[in-house]
Amino acid sequence: MKAANVRIARPATVEEALALAAEFGPDAKFIAGGQSLVPALNLRMASASVLIDLAALPSMKGISEEAGQLVVRACTTYTQARTHPKILSSFPLLAKGIGHVAHAAIRNVGTVGGSLALADPAAEMPAMALALGARIKVLGQAGARMVEAESFFKGLYETDLADGEMLAEVHWPTERWDAWGFQEIARRRGDYATAGVILLARARPEGAPEVRICAFGVSSRPCLLPKTAQAVAEAIESGRTADDAVAQACTELDIEADSHTPAETKAHLLRVLLGREVKALTESYRERL
Amino acid sequence: MSAFDDQTEVTVTLNGSVQTRKVNDRKHLADFVREDLGLTGTHLGCEHGVCGACGVLVNGTLVRGCLTFAARLDGAAITTIEGASDAGMIDDIKQAFVQHNAGQCGFCTPGMLLAAHELCQQEPEASRAEIREFLAGNFCRCTGYQPIVDAIEAVLRKRRNVP
């Protein structure tokens, strides 16, 4: 199938891009890599009369370190991010997770910012942004603002971006984690996740470690599970089994079916993946003592 | 409302030669090379990015022809399967495909050859399992995939032996 007629506008600056978005309103869409937008246009599941081409804007590409944060500009491709020396050395979770996104040809063109702006609940990038506590820089004609990942992902394909606003940068905190895990189940390699879990842990000076757990592909958006994480941390620290915490994890979020998988299956898979992550964490914690 | 599609003039280096064309904004790269430039080695299977038959190299990297609007490619270097083959970029890969019987109807083959080329660039140390995962983006209805994986494994082994 072919896309319907659409005009591709090539603004020379971010200001021009924002002005075009204001001028055309809901008839216009920003296009970065287009690896989700173009299939939707080809299948005529999405429509636009104007596409505002962001990929040509030089200020929208690149990775740099600023004020102790890693700044990834929105039109950086998955491949560029995955192979960047700073990501390989300081963000192994991102390098691993990006390897689960689609296929090489799509990773070469699809962008970090585009994935976050689309907010597919089964996508890896939004889940990693939530897990790592990233902050997102949003640009509008009124100016720039920063949004915490926890406030950015609101629901199914729904973000905090208002009409006419553009996702410009993602800021990743560079604090280190002692242990991390990424698990995803999909029907085929590269498919959207049927269920996924990210786990991060680091020792505190005293007491239980800090644990963070993010579930994705099982609800309308990626979800942090702070109660489960706390229960897991306490179990590990006191030498008890964390099985109860894992079994109760599904009570901490609204698990929703999608067109392929019923909610019960997603809940089961979430427990299985979380169980694996917790087991690995428990073993590595014991080894460190 | 205009009766005609919005158009853009693009100048690209196609398989080494500079070409300027007016293209409908909505036309994807695979249709552009097939219809506007007469190069039909690039194939269409799904037109939504999952089957891999439409692979084209843009500025040296593999992209989905069906997910790329040609109008966005002004100034780009485009290499189709014809160009890659003529330039000798995939000689050993083609030879391995023949030796291992990795092509039957040939529909997936251009996409598979370019995916193999991309794998050799991105993951030259790939294991058999990693080759299989990389090729998850290319569908074949004929061969059952094993001879394609065999061919690529042979290419990687041979390339690693080169001093």
**Which value does ipTM take for this structure?**
0.95
What confidence category does residue B3 fall into, taking pLDDT thresholds of 50, 70 and 90?
Answer: low
Question: What is d(CA B127, CA B150) in angstroms, rounded to the nearest whole number?
Answer: 11
Q: Which residues of A touch B122 (CB under 8 A)?
A: 79, 104
What's the first-to-final CA gap in chain B, in angstroms?
A: 62
A5 to B26: CB separation less than 8 angstroms, yes or no = yes
Alpha carbon of B66: minimum distance to chain A alpha carbons (Å) = 8
How close A186 comes to chain B (CA, Å)? 12
Interstrand relation of A210-216 and A158-159 (parallel, antiparallel or unpaired)? unpaired
Residue corresponding to tokens 């599609």: B5
**Tens-of-pLDDT digits for all 289 residues of chain A?**
899 999 999 999 999 999 999 999 999 999 999 999 999 999 999 999 999 999 889 999 999 999 999 999 999 999 999 999 999 999 999 999 999 999 999 999 999 999 999 999 999 999 999 999 999 999 999 999 999 999 999 999 999 999 999 999 999 999 899 999 999 999 888 888 999 999 999 999 998 999 999 999 999 999 999 999 999 999 999 988 999 999 999 999 999 999 999 999 999 999 999 999 999 999 988 877 5
**Do the Cβ atoms of B137 and A103 come within 8 Å?**
yes
pTM: 0.95
**pLDDT grade for B5, boundaries at 50, 70 and 90:** confident
Residue in B48, B122, B136 nearest the CB of A39 = B48
Q: Hey, are the CB atoms on B137 and A105 less than 8 Å from each other?
A: yes
Work out the average pLDDT over B3-23: 93
Residues 6+ apart with CB under 8 A from A258: A121, A122, A266
C-alpha–C-alpha distance, residues B139 and A103, integer Å: 12
Query: For residue B163, what pLDDT band results from cuts at 50, 70 and 90?
Result: very low
Mutate to test the interface with B, among A1, A108, A111 (most CBs of B within 10 A): A108
For residue B8, what pLDDT band results from cuts at 50, 70 and 90? Answer: very high
The pLDDT of residue B162 is 56
Distance from CA of A248 to the nearest CA of B (A): 33
Q: pLDDT for B98-119, tens place per residue?
A: 999 999 999 999 999 999 999 9
Element (H, E) at A249: none
